[in-house]
Amino acid sequence: MSEQGLLIVVSGPSGAGKSTVISKVMSDDPSCVFSISATTRPPRGTEQNGVEYFFVDRERFESMIKSGELLEYAEYVGNYYGTPKAPVFESLNRGKNVIFDIEVQGAMQIKQKCPNAALIFIVPPSFSEIEKRLRGRHTDSESKILQRLETARSEYAQAINYDYIVINDDPQKAANEVKAIISAEKCRVEFRKKYVLEV
Ligand code: 5GP
């Protein structure tokens, strides 16, 4: 019997190391696919259109909002970010687990629309790590860094609404915890009740 896929929402402040942890989960677990978001932010470093994000202009993004193409969206540090709906449901129907790297407002929208989604908040071992990691990336301007730090503080306050908190002091260890959460979530009665109700 093929099992239904899960929605796994991963949030955390910039600098928490979310994308490294997610990449490790994806390469260790072929049943997971990454939800590629659309954004109006320009590409950073080696980012490629259709790989990390779909890079679109504000006009295109606003037309996606209007036509209901997005499962959720939010404005974050001056740019739009949103999840195209169709690929998510295609993946779920193929039994894949879909991993989202999204911020807190979007995570709450997904929880509201899809109550079975598992929400994971990733943090570094201490808040001072965030500033260190943001500066170490050398990709954002000083004002963007300060904006991201301010945003990070308010994001911490929202972590209480998540289902799990993972501390990223070592990306492989954090990825193992995320994989353990996925395994446990797949055993929830909501997903497995068909095994008992048909008896
Ligand atoms: P970054 O610019 O560092 O790639 O991402 C900034 C923030 O936007 C991160 O917290 C990331 O998780 C979030 N983000 C990325 N894609 C989406 C999305 O589709 N929807 C929402 N709500 N947030 C997103």
Identify residue 19 by its one-letter amino acid code.
Answer: S
**Cα of 93 from ligand 1 centre, angstroms:** 24
Instruction: Write the residue with the smallest CA distance to atom 7 of ligand 1.
Output: 103
> For residues 138, 143, 148 and 149, what is the CA-based torsion angle, rounded to 10 degrees?
100
Closest ligand 1 atom, residue 52 Cα? 4
Backbone angles phi, psi at 74, to 5 degrees: -155, 160
Domains in the chain: ranges and CATH: 7-197 (3.40.50.300)
pLDDT of residue 3: 77
pLDDT of residue 139: 79
Is the minimum distance from the CB of 36 to ligand 1 under 6 angstroms? no
What is the rounded CA–CA span in Å between residue 133 and residue 165?
19
What is the rounded CA–CA span in Å between residue 23 and residue 170?
14
Is the minimum distance from the CB of 72 to ligand 1 under 6 angstroms? yes
Mean pLDDT by 10 residues, the chain (199 residues): 86 90 96 97 95 97 98 94 97 96 97 96 94 85 89 93 97 98 94 88
Is the minimum distance from the CB of 97 to ligand 1 under 6 angstroms? no
**pTM beyond 0.85:** yes
